[in-house]
């Protein structure tokens, strides 16, 4: 799959599910994957995430690619067309825009028909996966309430829950073991509490930057949404409340509420270079409840000198106000 979707459906059908974003960014050298796509003809001025997904998909040769062509990246349709011409079986899934519960239910039923299961089958699978999500909710609480889980650890676990690393049972065992380990840690509250909003960063050492400044991320907005938090018992309502595919105002209401609840001092809004989501800064500027910094990056790699300078200045400004 190209991004988060109702994974309950393919899991109910007994399929193995892979989020290509996770395969791309966790590759030994993601830059090589981007270069592979460019050699195949993708322009340099094109989203590196999409290029990475393309290269990963060609290597993986999946039985089926479920492309979220509505509610995610505007380039996904082109990506799916190219892969389909290269012989990849593609199924398009669309989150209705703006959010429409009835339309979403019909789309989930259409996905169910493709996998040969009923929506009731998917609902039963959701009940099983929600047990894992409750553990993830506890992990999130350990991040911002008890300060026993770092922002980096929070990011990795939540973003990995988009597909549960293709094996929900093993994922649950690993997560349970991790939680048992961190429960024994002493709390380590940062002086500066930050929120992170936007797609997961392509910057490989982003989260490593903050501890030296007595700061940490206590809210990973999109990763939390990818993980299905907060949990809703009903399958359709769960993905109706999932904010990422819909209007920015829908997301912003969640961001503002969580920033206040978690007592954040500042917000970092990340947008991928060449992405239309940059324009949302217009709305963020009008409505951010705390000082914010917009950060962008193009290709996989470490923080640049410019990134570091801007982050340092932002943290110094916040520290001076505390």
76 falls within a domain: yes
52 falls within a domain: yes
pLDDT recorded at residue 126: 99
What DSSP assignment string belongs to 185-249?
A: SPP---SEEEEEEESPPSBTTGGGGGGGGTEEEEEEHHHHHHTT-S--SSHHHHHHH--TTS-HH
Q: What is the pTM of this model?
A: 0.96
Distance in angstroms (rounded) separating the CA atoms of residues 321 and 15: 52
Range of the domain at 49: 8-119
Name, in order, each residue with C-beta under 8 angstroms of 44's C-beta and a sequence gap of 6 or more: 38
20 falls within a domain: yes
29 falls within a domain: yes
110 falls within a domain: yes
Distance in angstroms (rounded) separating the CA atoms of residues 273 and 29: 19
Q: What domain count does the chain have?
A: 1
Distance in angstroms (rounded) separating the CA atoms of residues 147 and 149: 6
Distance in angstroms (rounded) separating the CA atoms of residues 148 and 275: 34
Question: Per residue of the chain (322 residues), what is the pLDDT tens digit?
Answer: 999 999 999 999 999 999 999 999 999 999 999 999 999 999 999 999 999 999 999 999 999 999 998 878 889 999 999 999 999 999 999 999 999 999 999 999 999 999 999 999 999 999 999 999 999 999 999 999 999 999 999 999 999 999 999 999 999 999 999 999 999 999 999 999 999 999 999 999 999 999 999 999 999 999 999 999 999 999 999 999 999 999 999 999 999 999 999 999 999 999 988 887 778 888 888 889 999 999 999 999 999 999 999 999 999 999 999 9
219 falls within a domain: no
* pLDDT one-digit tens code per residue, 10-52: 999 999 999 999 999 999 999 999 999 999 999 999 999 999 9
47 falls within a domain: yes
55 falls within a domain: yes
């Amino acid at each position: 799959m190209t991004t988060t979707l109702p994974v309950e459906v393919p899991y109910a059908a007994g399929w193995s599910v892979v989020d290509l974003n996770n395969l791309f960014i966790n590759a030994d050298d993601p830059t090589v994957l981007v270069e592979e796509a460019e050699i195949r003809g993708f322009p340099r001025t094109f989203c590196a995430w999409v290029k990475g997904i393309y290269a990963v998909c060609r290597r993986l040769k999946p039985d089926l690619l479920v492309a979220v062509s509505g509610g995610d990246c505007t380039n996904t349709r082109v990506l799916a067309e190219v892969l389909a011409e290269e012989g990849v079986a593609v199924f398009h899934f669309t989150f209705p825009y703006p959010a429409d519960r009835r339309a979403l239910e019909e789309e989930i039923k259409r996905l169910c028909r493709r996998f040969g299961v009923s929506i009731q089958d998917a609902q039963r699978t959701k009940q099983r996966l929600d047990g894992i999500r409750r553990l993830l909710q506890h992990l999130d609480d350990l991040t911002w309430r008890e300060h026993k889980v770092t922002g980096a650890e929070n990011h990795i676990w939540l973003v990995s829950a988009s597909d549960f690393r293709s094996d929900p049972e093993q994922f649950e065992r690993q997560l349970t073991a991790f939680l048992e380990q961190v429960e024994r840690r002493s709390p380590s509250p940062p002086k500066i509490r930050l929120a992170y909003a936007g797609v997961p960063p392509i910057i490989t050492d982003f989260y490593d930057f903050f501890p030296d400044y007595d700061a940490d991320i206590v809210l990973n907005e999109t990763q939390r949404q990818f993980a299905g938090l907060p949990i809703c018992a009903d399958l359709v309502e769960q993905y109706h409340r999932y904010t990422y595919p819909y209007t920015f105002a829908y997301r912003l209401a969640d961001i503002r509420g969580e920033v206040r609840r978690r007592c954040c001092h500042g917000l970092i809004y990340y947008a991928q270079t060449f992405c239309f989501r940059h324009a949302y800064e217009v709305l963020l500027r009008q409505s951010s409840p705390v000082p914010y910094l917009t950060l962008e990056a193009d290709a996989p790699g470490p923080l640049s000198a410019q990134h570091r300078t801007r982050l340092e200045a932002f943290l110094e400004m916040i520290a001076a106000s505390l």
